[in-house]
């Protein structure tokens, strides 16, 4: 059995000084955490969803964890990934 805590929802990417562009605002981000009640292990989750009218290749930039790989998101599709622990969170979505 797992408990779920929703941290934030629908957070667009933020600007970065890196070379990759920030994903457009129509690619949305949901984040949440889960905790396994039996062993108290926390997991941090993020899902990016393409609400745009065209395909984008996007990656999640995580704080406190390794960044995600580039994923192709067709209109209306999503990608979910997780990291161990309660501290990791996605700070932005970048185009690849």
What does the alpha-carbon distance between residue 29 and residue 12 come to, in Å, rounded to a whole number?
A: 6
Q: In the chain, where are the structural domains located?
A: 2-95
Residue 89, burial from CB neighbour count under 10 angstroms (0-12, 13-18, 19+): buried
Residue among 37, 51, 48, 50 at smallest CA distance from 5: 37
Its CATH architecture, for the domain 2-95, is Sandwich (2.60)
Q: What is the pLDDT of residue 19?
A: 64
Q: What is the pLDDT along the chain (96 residues), one digit of tens a residue?
A: 444 444 443 444 444 445 689 999 999 999 999 998 887 889 999 999 999 999 999 999 999 899 999 999 999 999 999 999 888 999 999 999
E-strand spans in 27-84? 27-36, 42-50, 56-63, 71-73, 78-84
Query: Do 31 and 55 contact (CB within 8 A), yes or no?
Result: no
Tokens representing 34 are 């889960």
Q: What pLDDT is attached to residue 94?
A: 97
pLDDT given for residue 11 in this prediction? 41
């Amino acid at each position: 059995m797992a408990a779920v805590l929703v941290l934030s929802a629908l957070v667009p990417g933020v600007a970065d000084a890196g070379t990759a562009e920030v994903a457009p605002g129509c690619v949305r981000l949901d984040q949440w955490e889960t905790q396994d009640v039996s062993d108290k292990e926390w997991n941090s989750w993020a899902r990016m969803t393409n609400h745009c009218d065209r395909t984008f290749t996007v990656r999640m930039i995580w704080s406190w964890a390794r960044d995600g790989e580039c994923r192709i998101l067709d209109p209306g599709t999503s990608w979910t990934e997780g990291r161990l622990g309660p501290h990791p969170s996605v700070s932005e979505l970048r185009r690849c």
